A and B are shown apart, each in its own frame.
Chain A
Amino acid sequence: MNFYLTAVLLGLGFASLALGIFISMRIFNIPDITTDGSFTFGGAITAILLVNHVSLPVIFLAAFFGGAATGAITGFIHTKLKVNALLSGILVMTALYSINLAVMQRSNIPLMEVSSVFSSFKLFQNELTQQFFVLIIFVILIWQLISWMLKTDFGLAMRATGNNESMIRALGVNSNRMKIIGLGLANGLTALSGFLITQIQGFADINMGIGIVILGLGSVMIGEIFSKTFRIRSIAIQLAFVIAGSIVFRLLLAFALSIGIDAIYLKLVVALFVLTIVSIPNLKLSRD
């Protein structure tokens, strides 16, 4: 049972990343590979600051704004230097590998004997229950905040930017600036997942972000399947489904491991799984 509870915890930890991918992929239509780097960046910042006993709120903000800066750089390269969005993300991700190593000073930082977001205020004796409680509160707060933001005038302008750029420029919005802010926000959220996951697993590793963008993408797509099935238009509920998608994705991976699939093949399973959800709607269409 703990096996699946751990999967749920990871799902909650990656929920912030999934929301970030929702913003870059669904709101701005930009496949943002920066994610792989900004996730690790969030983890690296968290680990190095934790072992140096910096206070958690400061670490939290450092992780968010650090991630946001990487996204904003991708946005800048894409909009101002007119580089293809995918390539912009790959460039920043590649550069971040060195930056992350420089931040961490080595390829792995274990977090033994340091207090984390889960141990700073103890409510439950059971460690998993305590983690679950902290993560749930965190995810609900982020979910509420992003839902609210997307309903404000600024959020509407953000959604319209990805939806219809000529319209939103005709309505007085600098769409390039909006993309930079949007990618910044998306990667800030991603880095927050790095912040959480590092503390859940108890270490930061230079390779922790490899292929992580696919994980977010899969979560967003599972969320969309829910939204389509229930014909959901409310942005808040769509986001809730994305979070649910993140948990479901983790449970499916846990299931795959439990039926005896070798952990070596985990990324292969992830890729095949995302391929399946992406292609099913297309196959259905072509049959009609």
Chain B
Amino acid sequence: MIELKHISKTYNRDSAAAVTALDDISLSLPEKSFTVVVGSNGSGKSTLLNVLAGTVRPDAGTILINGKDVTSLPDYKRSRWIARIFQNPLLGTSPELTVLENFRLASLRTQPKKFIIGTGDKFKKLVKEKINVLGLGLENKLDQPMGTLSGGQRQALTLLMAVMPGQMNAATGDGPGILLMDEPTAALDPKTSALILDISGRIINEFELTVLFVTHHLKDALNYGNRILSMSGGKIDLDLDQLAKSKLTLPEVYEWFE
């Protein structure tokens, strides 16, 4: 459960160039919900995501995750609950580390990184099995630097890295994981986009993630998720539940942007 209470954020507050990105937003995202956010550029979608992730500090308001006030926690401390998929497919992985080493770091998301070598055969086997599911043949490239893979491949692996075992699961008391996706397919070709969305769907279902999905693809906005928010000027204009969302048509959504 994520709760945002009266969140406001203004960039360049004391100058003539002040921009209100979030204007007194209150929102609650129940566990295992899948919320899609649409809105034109500058509507505050990305700021909303960044405020949740902790990379942007709100000027006012509180953020609760599973009832815990995390407003003053920096991004790297919120990572125990929150995984992110960035718009730039290269931002989710480290290019000079191998695929295996990237997965090793991802598997330690909620744990300290110690002076032990954890990329042994046992871990390799585990990652291999994980990657096999993608069907991209990447399981044979574990020892290659991540930077040698394409953007689409890296985005697919970033998704898998978000749900490495031993993290964000109910058993550790951290509750179901939260996945923030900021236009994850914006930089990818249509075929790869479809693949990434397909993998996302599978992972979200399997791991019962709570999802906030920002997109400019209105078709995707209609096809995915069980709730849709439309933002403009830092406010939430529309908030439709599953039933209302299922009745939406593409022309109607286009009209929001008129």
Interface residues in chain A, defined as those with a beta carbon under 8 Å from any beta carbon in chain B: 148-149, 151-157, 159-160, 163-164, 166-175, 233
Contacts and interface: CB of A to CB of B under 8 A. Distances in A.
B110 interface: yes
B76 A163 contact: no
B93 interface: yes
B115 A164 contact: no
Contacts of A157: 105, 108, 113
Contacts of A174: 74, 76
A164 B83 contact: no
At the interface, is chain A mostly helix, strand, loop or mixed? helix
Contact of A164 (B76, B82, B91, B110): B91
Given A156-B101, A156-B105, A172 B94 contact: no
Question: Which residue among A149, A163, A167 has the maximum number of chain B CB atoms within 10 Å of its CB?
Answer: A167
Given A159-B94, A164-B95, A171 B115 contact: no
B118 interface: yes
A24 to B, nearest CB: 16
B94 A154 contact: no
A170 B53 contact: yes
Nearest to A151: B117
A152 B77 contact: no
Interface residues of B, number: 38
Contacts of A167: 91-94
Interface string B73-115: 0111101101110100011111111100110111011110111
Given A151-B119, A153-B113, A154-B115, A172 B93 contact: no
Which 7 pairs between the two chains have the least Cβ-Cβ distance?
Answer: A172-B79, A160-B94, A157-B113, A153-B113, A163-B94, A169-B76, A164-B94
A148 B119 CA distance: 12
A3 to B, nearest CB: 39
A159 B93 CA distance: 12
Nearest to A152: B115
Given A160-B97, A171-B79, A153 B91 contact: no
Nearest to B92: A167
B75 A153 contact: no
A152 B98 CA distance: 13
Interface in B142-166: 145
B99 to A, nearest CB: 12
Contacts of B243: none
Contacts of B79: 169-172
At the interface, is chain B mostly helix, strand, loop or mixed? loop
A160 B82 CA distance: 19
A173 B94 contact: no
16 contacts: A151-B119, A153-B114, A154-B114, A156-B101, A157-B113, A160-B102, A163-B95, A166-B86, A167-B91, A167-B94, A169-B79, A170-B53, A170-B76, A170-B84, A171-B79, A173-B113
Nearest to A170: B84
A171 B109 contact: yes
B154 to A, nearest CB: 11
Given A160-B97, A166-B86, A152 B116 contact: yes
A78 to B, nearest CB: 17
A172 B104 contact: no
Contact of A153 (B86, B92, B116): B116
A89 to B, nearest CB: 23
Nearest to A163: B94
Contacts of B76: 169-175
Contacts of B77: 172
Given A159-B94, A164-B90, 13 more contacts: A152-B113, A152-B114, A153-B104, A153-B118, A157-B105, A160-B94, A160-B102, A163-B94, A170-B53, A171-B76, A171-B79, A172-B79, A172-B111
Given A160-B97, A172-B80, A174-B76, A149 B115 contact: yes
Contact of B83 (A163, A168, A170, A173): A170
Question: Which residue among A151, A154, A170, A173 has the maximum number of chain B CB atoms within 10 Å of its CB?
Answer: A170
B114 A164 contact: no
A168 B94 contact: yes
A56 B83 CA distance: 49
Nearest to A149: B115
B121 to A, nearest CB: 15
Nearest to B91: A166
B25 to A, nearest CB: 22
Contact of B110 (A148, A149, A172): A172
